[in-house]
Structure 1
Amino acid sequence: MCTTTSSGRKGRPRSAEADAAILEATRVALVELGWSKLTLGDVAARAGVAKTTLYRRWAGKNELVVDAVAVLFDELTLPDLGSLAADVEGVVLQFAALLERPETRTALMAVVAESTRDEALRVRIRASIVDRQKRLVLLGRERAQARGELPAEASTSAAAETADLIFDVVAGAVVHRSLVSAEPVDAAWARRFTALLLGGLSAASQG
């Protein structure tokens, strides 16, 4: 049975082991070589696969690197810590720890920089990373609503807009502090940020 590749083409059944090796090799090569020197040939050699194997799965370097980053972000989880505040603080610290890893930092900054010149790459980043990680926002909100900490939204469209805004606020704040300001995202910062997110400026100033 044939499977559809990430570029939309059909080919041989994919090997999970080969995919994992290729994505790991991509992250290692990106840290060692940087975006400009990374080539699919180098990745194939590191992963121990034929170069044609990569081209059957990915149309080019942009798509490959985005998928290599997306796998790392899929490691994020949202354990039920008993309250909305604890859940938010927990995922913020997880996210920050992920951004401290050289392979995550290098790959994310590389694809974001390239995406400023490539609309197709921006679309792929949204689909492969942003939209997939909104699952954490949806899960956290469902738990908070079940606990009575948050009201239900008035409509499906309002719920979607709220999820988008929450994701943008959390992801934007953590990425900016970690990668732009190069400041630590520790437990104290996560607590202050969560107070601001949940209670507004007055609550944050009292914390």
Structure 2
Amino acid sequence: MTAENGRPRDARIDVAVLDAAAALLPEVGYADLTVAAIADRAGTSRPAVYRRWPSKAHLVHEAVFRDADTSIVASTGRLDEDLRNIVARTAALLTSPLARVAVPGLIGEAASDPSLNQRLLDRFAGRGWSGLDAYLSEATARGHLKPGFDAGVLLELVIGSALAAILVRGPDGLTAAWVDNTAAILLDGVRMPTGG
């Protein structure tokens, strides 16, 4: 990465800022987190932070989800187990200690910030979940799924269910029982009916 004046950007500052944001977020909460406090904790300046991220929300998004693995788990060959694994991984991602503090604020800011909204969409429905289409195609070919089912819609239902549950139940509401029930309901909607 090169700065506008031609000097290479110091990657150590990026790491220090992300680490500072991740450390401060649980201490002060999303609403009270400031770029000035992050810069101070990271040992840098506010302009250095804003050269890297256009807003606090963009910075927090990256700090919270920088290590998140949204790749599709290897297929077990059983649609019920695979769907449960997808629901469980989504719940775990959205209820990590940092996500618990950040997600409500990020959702609120994404409503009025198209670039943040796109980054969140890319994170949860884009490149990381790209294996879902292939997985669902294979499941359809094996006769486990209704033909023509849209992977994007399934992913929206998984993520939407988790976000709605967080809002209604709080992050602690996404229990193993919630994961099982949600996966079972989704499975009934996508599974090829058996028998006559």
Q: TM-score interval w.r.t. the shorter chain? A: 0.7 to 0.9
The answer to whether structure 1 residue 57 and structure 2 residue 26 are counterparts is: no
CA distance 1:31–1:168, change in 2 (3 Å): same
Shift, 1:136, TM fit: 5.0
Structure 2 residue aligned with 1:76, among 70, 75, 84?
A: 70
* Identity rate, percent: 32
Per-residue CA deviation, residues 109-143 of structure 1 (Å, 9 max, x unaligned), is: 11111223334432333234443444253353244
How does the TM-score come out when normalised to structure 2?
0.75
Question: Which deviates the most, 165-174 or 125-134?
Answer: 125-134
Corresponding position: 1:178 with 2:166: yes
| Mapped partners of 1:85, 1:120: distance in 2 | 35
Cα gap change, 1:84 to 1:11, in 2 (>3 Å): farther
User: Given the superposition, is the C-alpha separation of residues 105 and 120 from structure 1 closer, same or farther in structure 2, using an over 3 Å criterion?
Assistant: same
Q: Does 1:38 pair with 2:26?
A: no
Contact 2:31/2:105, CA 8 A, preserved across alignment: no
Equivalent position to 1:195, from 184, 187, 195: 184
Amino acid at match of 2:151: A
Deviations 1:77-102 (A, max 9, x none): 43222322211111211222233323
* Equivalence for 2:133: 138
Deviation, structure 1 residue 48: 3.6
Deviation at 1:38, TM superposition (A): 1.8
> Which residue pairs with 1:108 in the alignment?
103
Cα 1:40–1:17, aligned 2, differ >3 Å: closer, same or farther? Answer: same
Unaligned residue ranges in structure 2 (runs of 5+): none
- Aligned residue type for 1:163: A
What amino acid maps onto 2:93 in structure 1? L
Is residue 2:17 matched to residue 1:22? yes
Residue 153 of structure 2 corresponds to 165
- Does 2:120 correspond to 1:125? yes
Q: CA–CA distance in 1 between the matches of 2:169 and 2:50? A: 37
Question: Which of 168-177 and 184-193 deviates more?
Answer: 184-193
Going from structure 1 to structure 2, the CA distance change for 1:119 and 1:70 (only over 3 Å counts) comes to same
CA RMSD of aligned residues (A): 3.3
- Residues in 2 aligned to 1:146 and 1:45: alpha-carbon distance in whole angstroms: 55
Give the structure-1-normalised TM-score: 0.72
- The question of whether the paired residues in 1 share the 8 Å contact of 2:24 and 2:38 is answered with yes
Do the aligned residues in 1 keep the contact of 2:35 with 2:46 (CA within 8 Å)? yes
Q: Which has the higher contact order (CA 8 A, sep 6+)?
A: 2
